[in-house]
A and B are shown apart, each in its own frame.
Chain A
Amino acid sequence: EVQLVESGGGLVQPGGSLRLSCAVSGFTFSTYNMHWVRQAPGEGLVWVSRISRDGSSATYADSVKGRFTTSRDNAKNTLYLQMNTLRAEDTAVYYCVRDDGSPGDYWGQGSLVTVSS
């Protein structure tokens, strides 16, 4: 069974940092591109980042470029999102998403990040 389980969310002050993890199982992680997608409270879905199968290439939405870094450890079957210089507008549920040629065939349960003083 394919599973994606995010962790690491929580409350952080503006300007602070947080690292999300997404532990996957049930498939060969290293053969899939992966994404992070976020959803602010009561709002729609917004793509954040994509990382290639081998981790050599990561792309970002303009809103997080230079502040967020996506990485992966294929030996540990884990995807990461390092979030720095967090702002109130980064408050959202962050989803880890698999890409089978089109993003989104599997989603994690989401991890809530709240940026507030």
Chain B
Amino acid sequence: DVVMTQSPLSLPVTLGQPASISCRSSQSLVHSNGNTYLSWFHQRPGQSPRRLIYKVSNRDSGVPDRFSGSGSGTDFTLKISRVEAEDVGVYYCMQSTHWPPYTFGQGTKLEIK
């Protein structure tokens, strides 16, 4: 199974400041078709997760452009250019290249300082 490791697990951020979350996989996420299936999700307390990014860097519809995804191979990053109050919650990365199983990172809890 592919192990997804996120860091940090807790991320206190000042409003308006940038934030960055790292996600590393135990093996390359490049699929034989050339795509890299790495997604990012955001879950607010008491809500269902929402996908923000798919295939490393593609923003989902309606996702603010302050969110960006980057990376390749085994090393990926989610960046928020300027954190807003609505960005609090837990962020998860997930790989869907090597399945089953599909695997998630442990989650990174973003809070406002």
Point out residues on A near B: beta carbons under 8 Å: 35, 44-47, 50, 59-62, 95, 101-105, 107-110
Contacts and interface: CB of A to CB of B under 8 A. Distances in A.
A42 to B, nearest CB: 11
A45 B100 contact: no
B96 A110 contact: no
B77 interface: no
B49 interface: yes
B64 interface: no
Interface in B77-113: 90, 92, 94, 96, 99-107
Most buried by A among B41, B51, B106: B51
B92 A45 contact: yes
Given A102-B96, A103-B39, A110 B48 contact: yes
B41 A47 contact: no
A87 B18 CA distance: 42
B60 A62 contact: no
The 5 A-B pairs of least Cβ separation, nearest first, read A47-B102, A102-B54, A107-B48, A104-B51, A59-B100
A110 B50 CA distance: 13
B100 A102 contact: no
Contacts of A103: 39, 94, 96, 102
A59 B49 CA distance: 22
Interface string B14-49: 000000000000000000000001010101000011
A116 B99 CA distance: 31
Contacts of B105: 44
Given A59-B99, A102-B54, 7 more contacts: A45-B92, A95-B48, A103-B94, A103-B96, A105-B60, A107-B50, A108-B48
